[in-house]
Each structure stands twice: as C-alpha cells, then as structure tokens.
Structure 1
Amino acid sequence: MNNFLEFLTQNSVDIVETVFLMLFSLGIALFQTLIFSGLFNLKFPNWLFFILSPAIVGISYLINPAFPLAAMFLLFISVFFFAIVGMIYSGIQNSKQEKIEREKFNKKHNIPKTTFGQKILGVFIIAGIFGTFILLAESENLKLLFLIIPGFIVLKNIFFPSSKSKFMRLQSILPTSKIDAIAMGMVEVEGDLEEIEPIISPYFNKPCIGYYYKIEEESKPDDDGRTTYSTIFSEVKTGKFRIKDETGTVTVDGEGIEYFFDRVDNQQGGKTRHSETYLRNNDYMFLVGYAASDNGETIIKKGNPDNVFGIAVPRNISFRNKYKPLLDSFLITLFFISLIIIYIILK
C-alpha cells in the first residue's frame, strides 16, 4: 500500500502526460454526470463535470507535477464511492415516494391503515415460524415439518374456510328453490337478472346492476418472461335487482354480495391494470342468500354478517358439483398416501 501511495505522489508527469490524463478524465466525467443526475437527481449544467474533472487534473499539475496521478486515482475512486452512495440514496428516496403514493392511493380508495395490533401480530407470527424452524433444526427434527405444514393447512381449511369454500359447501347442500315457493331462511335460486337501481362502474363508467372492480400492480417477470400481477385494491358494489325464473320474480338487496366467478368484462393494462366485472340485465345467474320478509314482500339479502351471500355462473356450479366428488376422493387417497410416506420418512 505504501509503495502504491509513493508511486502516486512521487512520480512526476510532464505537460504531455498531463494533457492525456485530462482527456482521460472526460470519461470519468461522463460517469459522474450520470451518477449525480440519475441517482441523486440533481440539476446542474451538463458540461459541469466535463470542465471540473480535467480542471482538477490540470490544477494539480500546476501545484506539483507529482500530483496528477493521485488526482486521477481519486477521481476514479470517487465514481465507485458516489455510485454506491447514490444507489443507497436513490433506494431511500424511492421508498419514501412509494410510501407517499401508497398513502394517497389508500386515502382515495378508503383503505384502512394496518393497525398497531395487526403489525405486532404479524411480527409474532413471523418470529414463531423462525423460532419453530430454529428449534427443530437444533433438535435435528426438521423432518417434523412434513407433518406440521400439512397439519396447518388442514386446520386452516377446517376452521378458517374462505368465503368461496363456504359458498360452495352451502350450495351443495341447499336445494334450488323455485321463486314462487321460497321459504324464509337460507335459499338458493337460479334465473335471469332484472335491473332496478342501475349504478355506474368507477373506472370505465359502465351502467350495470353491480360491479367488481380490481386494481392490479405489475410484478417482475418470472423465469419464463411472463408478466404477473398482484391485486392492490378491489371493490364490490351492487344495487337492488330482481331475479326471475319461470315461476316468478324476487327482489334482491345486493349490498354485501360476493362474486364467485372469474369473468372480466373490461380491462386496461399497463404497469397498473384496471379490471371490471359486471352484473348486467338478463344475466343468467345462480344466487345463495338469506330470504326474509320486508313489509309482506320476500327479499333476499345478506342477513347476518356470517351468512353466505354470493352469486355465480350456473354452468360453473354444475361442472363443479359433477366433478367435486371425484376430486375429493382423489385428494383423500393422496392425503393417506402422503401420511404413509411421511411415516416412513420419520421412522
């Protein structure tokens, strides 16, 4: 190291070599310009570093002919130093800007902030997962993960089923009612929709009975180059409508209804993708909800907060009901085969 410093400070250069070093410093000036304008987002004349860097080399020669090499070395090192600092600074600024934009987005769409309790719960869950992993690793029982992970999945599906699972389970139990023979309580009906109170969708401004609006953010392409999207906001809003079959018509209060079909009626792509799905006049749909009496007139609505209230495409329901028993049999067989394999592994 000392020899290198001596080489930089004790080897004099002549005027021709100094001019060559000044010309070489123009390449360094290009990187400096890119770093300070791109990473630090500073505003300055484009020619600034193309004057400053050669000037530093030239002035160092005027001070001492042994200094230009040291000046060039410092300019060269400065490129790497400011590039690293600039990347850190740019990352911090981008994070702040993303936070501001996300807060504006949440405020616009009335998305509640994550509460302090939810954050603490998340920390405890993550800590519990890591703690379990470390404990099993130290006790050389990592193989137990083959039992723990499937166990969590089974318990989650049993005790915390999704809304779609509840809907599918209930529709498989309930008989489809004719509208003129609806009894009070949970019912399922099937028929054409009739518009009562049209509403306007939020992005494409389409009149409809109801809409499911979704905003998705583009994710990084996967290994195959395919672009994926993650949902950052969704909203369902449905007005009052009627559903009719060959026996009659019944009114539905659409507040709180969930859409259990994957149709997309309007979509606009880009870095942020907007999609809308509509309930429209004359759509033939399958509905599960709570039938109640409203001033002597039957109305289907949400009922209690825990009640299932959803709508789906009949042919999808028929297809699922036809092949679900086969799928269940396959999954049960696969589950017991997996238990046998796990037992052999852990033995």
Structure 2
Amino acid sequence: MLTKYPKLLKLFKLLGSIILILAFFANTFAFFFIFIVGIIVVNIFKPSTKSNFLKLQAVLPTSSIRSLAVGLAEIQGKTKCADLIPTKIGNGKCIAYLYTVKRETKDSDGKSSFEVIDNESKTSPFFIADDTGKIEINTDGLDFVWLPEKGSYQSGNMHYTQRVLMPNEEVLLIGNVSSKNGKLTMEKDEHNNVFNLTLASSVSQWNTYKPLLNSLYVFGALCCLVAIVVIKSDVSIEDGVVFYSFSNLFG
C-alpha cells in the first residue's frame, strides 16, 4: 500500500499537482478527466486505518465481550483503567491524551495559517467492559478517531490543544482478538490494517450524516462535469434556436 511508501505517495501528489496546473492553463476536458481519475486512484490505493475503520464498522456486527472469538471483531462498552495519567493541559486525569502544538503565522492580508510543530500522545493500559465481561486492550498501534477536545490555550502565536479519552466513556473499538495463555486481548489487526477506537456517539453521528455527505460529493462532481462541458462547448444561435457543438470537448 502507498501508506507504506511515503516517497511514492509524495510522487503521486506531485503528479496530481502538475496535472492540475496543466488543466488550468490548457483548459481541456482531457486534463481535468485525468486529474479526477488520478485522485480516485490515489484514494483507492491509500487506505488509512481510519478509513478502514469507518468501512468496517458499517458492516461488522457488534460482538458481546463474552462471545468474542479469535479474529477481527467490533466491540462496544465502557472504558476502565486502574492507573489514570495526568492530562497535558489542566489538572485532570485521563486514560489517554493527544497533545498538539501549532504555530500561527499571518500573511500580508492578515490570513492565518497553522503549522504543527509538536505532537505528543500517551496511553495508559486499560480495558473495555460491557454487560457480559471485559477485555484488555494492547495499546500498541491503537489509533483514536474523533476524540473530543478538552483543554486548549494560546500563548502569543502558539496554540496548544489536547484531546482525551476519559474513564467510563462509551466507546466502539475494532481490532484483532488474540488468545495468549487462554486470555483474550484486543490488538491491531495487521491484515485489515485497523485498530481504532472512538466514542460510540461519534460513530452514530457519522452513520447518520454519511449518506448526505456522499450525495454532496456526487452532486459536486456532476456540477463540475457540467460546467466543464458547457465551457468547452460551442454555442450558436440561428433563427432563434440555440445549437450546442461538442466537437472541441477534447481539444
């Protein structure tokens, strides 16, 4: 996968930028078509753990912890932790935090842009429990999705934010169930490249609005296609009748 070859991925992005520039100056449908196809191809061959998680959660049944078997599984339950860690911002305690430092810069027009200069994350050993039992989570390779922001401040042009996972949060987790010495543990599923955790409420919102988002994508693509066709077509009026010619569509 391209995610394993960052240099190849950068090459794809560079080629996409070149095609876009050529399309802008050449103003031909062919260049726009190639660019759109290139974007689709890159996204197909560049699956992230988050995209895999979102696809799998839509089709995987949620298993009760008591009925778990070895292999890929989705569970839902509350987070439990015996040894909470201090949050990076504030005096709270949490299971995990994602801490980000960004530098703000402004251009001559006063528009702000942000550059990430530091990322830090820390996770304490924890487990997930439902009404049927509990299971420990091997945190190696665990990715968090849409953790809520709790704590932020600004000092000069520096912005500091943190996202945290708290105890007793209702979460959804997809990963691989493994058995070690007769004890089940959830860990990263290397085959499906997925080991993601998010709040159950966030997944519910995503599944509610995803069809609308897909419709917007399709509508936007159709609008762009129609605009390109109209721009490239020749329009003439004879005896009050409008004629369209598409002979130069690929010219």
Alignment TM-score > 0.5, same fold: yes
Distance verdict in 2 for CA 1:209–1:136, change over 3 Å = closer
Counterparts of 1:281 and 1:220, CA distance in 2: 39
Q: Which amino acid aligns with 1:233?
A: D
Distance verdict in 2 for CA 1:303–1:337, change over 3 Å = same
Counterparts of 1:332 and 1:135, CA distance in 2: 21
Residue aligning to 2:51: 165
Q: What is the CA distance between 1:338 and its match in structure 2?
A: 3.6
Q: Which amino acid aligns with 1:159?
A: F
Distance verdict in 2 for CA 1:121–1:277, change over 3 Å = closer
Cα offsets for 1:203-240 (capped at 9, x unmatched): 657542111111111131796x6755332222333232
Residue aligning to 1:247: 132
2:147 and 2:164 in contact (8 A); partners too: no
Higher relative contact order structure (alpha carbons within 8 Å, sequence separation ≥ 6): 2
Identity %: 30
Q: Structure 1: 5+ residue runs without aligned partners?
A: 1-116
Cα offsets for 1:88-120 (capped at 9, x unmatched): xxxxxxxxxxxxxxxxxxxxxxxxxxxxx95x9
- Secondary structure at the aligned position of 1:265 is classed as strand
Q: What is the CA distance between 1:318 and its match in structure 2?
A: 1.0
Counterparts of 2:143 and 2:216, CA distance in 1: 29
Q: What is the CA distance between 1:158 and its match in structure 2?
A: 1.5
Distance verdict in 2 for CA 1:329–1:205, change over 3 Å = same
1:332 has 2:218 as partner: yes
Residue aligning to 1:15: none
1:299 to 176, 185, 197: 185
Q: Which amino acid aligns with 1:196?
A: A
Q: What is the CA distance between 1:127 and its match in structure 2?
A: 8.2
Q: What is the CA distance between 1:130 and its match in structure 2?
A: 4.7
Cα offsets for 1:243-278 (capped at 9, x unmatched): 111111111112221111151112121221222222
Q: What is the CA distance between 1:128 and its match in structure 2?
A: 8.2
1:214 to 94, 100, 105: 100
Counterparts of 2:70 and 2:115, CA distance in 1: 40
Q: What is the CA distance between 1:326 and its match in structure 2?
A: 3.5
Residue aligning to 1:7: none
Residue aligning to 1:267: 152
Answer with 204-213 or 184-193: which moved more.
Answer: 204-213
1:229 has 2:109 as partner: no
Calculate the aligned-residue CA RMSD, in Å.
3.3
Distance verdict in 2 for CA 1:175–1:289, change over 3 Å = same
Q: What is the CA distance between 1:307 and its match in structure 2?
A: 2.1
Q: Which amino acid aligns with 1:267?
A: S
Counterparts of 1:263 and 1:231, CA distance in 2: 19
Q: Structure 2: 5+ residue runs without aligned partners?
A: 1-5, 233-248
Counterparts of 1:319 and 1:125, CA distance in 2: 31
Counterparts of 2:47 and 2:178, CA distance in 1: 26
> Which structure 2 residues correspond to residues 40-189 of structure 1 after superposition, within 5 A?
126=14, 129-130=17-18, 133=21, 137=25, 140=26, 142-189=28-75
2:78 and 2:170 in contact (8 A); partners too: yes
Residue aligning to 2:3: none
2:79 and 2:169 in contact (8 A); partners too: yes
Larger fraction in helix: 1
TM-score (ref. length: structure 2): 0.74
Counterparts of 1:328 and 1:123, CA distance in 2: 28
- Secondary structure at the aligned position of 1:282 is classed as coil
Q: What is the CA distance between 1:309 and its match in structure 2?
A: 0.9
2:128 and 2:137 in contact (8 A); partners too: yes
Q: What is the CA distance between 1:168 and its match in structure 2?
A: 0.8
Residue aligning to 1:195: 81
Give the number of equivalent residue pairs: 227
- Secondary structure at the aligned position of 2:127 is classed as strand
Cα offsets for 1:8-37 (capped at 9, x unmatched): xxxxxxxxxxxxxxxxxxxxxxxxxxxxxx
Larger fraction in strand: 2
